Structure 1
């Protein structure tokens, strides 16, 4: 059994700001589970597409019903690959966890596209596949946990992006931009 998550939403910000916010989204008050981010590779290919590979260290939590002996460390590395095409105003990101893949692996793809010409809107489509190979009669339960946890974390991620986008908007309006150690706006 495999669980899927799909969601579409929009940001009332131009595509350039949304892609910038994507790179600046950590740290933010809604992502305390993100411990570190490092760029492994970044280059512009022959078509003018910016390609980046980052490694993200996240802290997770296992459900109370999960046997503690199988998960000694709740930290996991996530690989994030992205392509930013300024000509088509499209950004595609793909992430997957590198640790604990037998217990549960989550593979997510997000596509950020500019709204209609002249609009300051960016559409984001998010799709995730949650799969467990754990067995022992727990696969379905683990995948259900992963799906509900992923949905809750996706909501926090959107709040974090909106927080960073608001700081970018304030900076562009001539305000000060305190990127780090800020409180969420209401």
Structure 2
């Protein structure tokens, strides 16, 4: 098993970051994401938590040797479950691959929470990658390739998400009412 960890500070308030999460795809940095389908969304009873389950379809370029391990399939499906807790002001995402999970399991946890001193949002990411017994000889190679790939995608993903945040910030700015010249008279 290999573990990938990442932390980043988005210089936007938590409310903007958590709202932007739902508009994250499509963006020009995440062209591998083909579709995002919401399967379920509800407020959990006796709480202030929004539960959402989504299916994310990705099409990624992978090396030939990996394609052979996954029978040539290039599309993969990821199940994402999120909890938006309004009381604690945290957004937690739990993702796992549904495709190829008999050979490789990837479990990712992402949390967004407000920074306590800055008007910013803390992003924490952890991915656990495990190649299964059927690939015992190749396990370390496949796990390391997966960690490297997640690391690369995380860097690109941050750029894409920053872009989404900037666009949302600009659209909110452009929607503000412009005072008329007669207002000061």
Q: Structures share a fold, TM > 0.5?
A: yes
Q: CA RMSD in A?
A: 1.7
Gaps of 5+ in 2: 177-185
Which portions of structure 1, spanning 4 or more consecutive aligned residues, are displaced by more than 6 angstroms?
none
Which residue number corresponds to residue 127 of structure 1? 126
Aligned length: 174
Tell me how far 1:85 sits from its aligned partner.
Answer: 1.0
Checking the alignment, whether the CA contact within 8 Å between 2:112 and 2:124 is kept in structure 1 is: yes
Structure 1 counterpart SS, 2:65: coil
Checking the alignment, whether the CA contact within 8 Å between 2:67 and 2:74 is kept in structure 1 is: no
1:68-91 deviation digits (Å, cap 9, x = unpaired): 264221111100000001221111
Structure 1 counterpart SS, 2:22: helix
Q: Structure 1 or 2: larger helix share?
A: 2
The 5-angstrom pairing of residues 1-186 of structure 1 reads 2-45=1-44, 46-66=46-66, 68=68, 70-116=70-116, 119-133=118-132, 134-135=134-135, 137-174=137-174
Bigger Rg, which one: 2
Gaps of 5+ in 1: 177-186
Checking the alignment, whether the CA contact within 8 Å between 1:14 and 1:114 is kept in structure 2 is: yes
- Tell me: CA distance 1:71–1:81, structure 2 relative to 1, closer, same or farther (3 Å): same
Checking the alignment, whether the CA contact within 8 Å between 1:55 and 1:77 is kept in structure 2 is: yes
TM-score scaled by structure 2?
0.88
TM-score scaled by structure 1?
0.88
Which residue number corresponds to residue 182 of structure 1? none
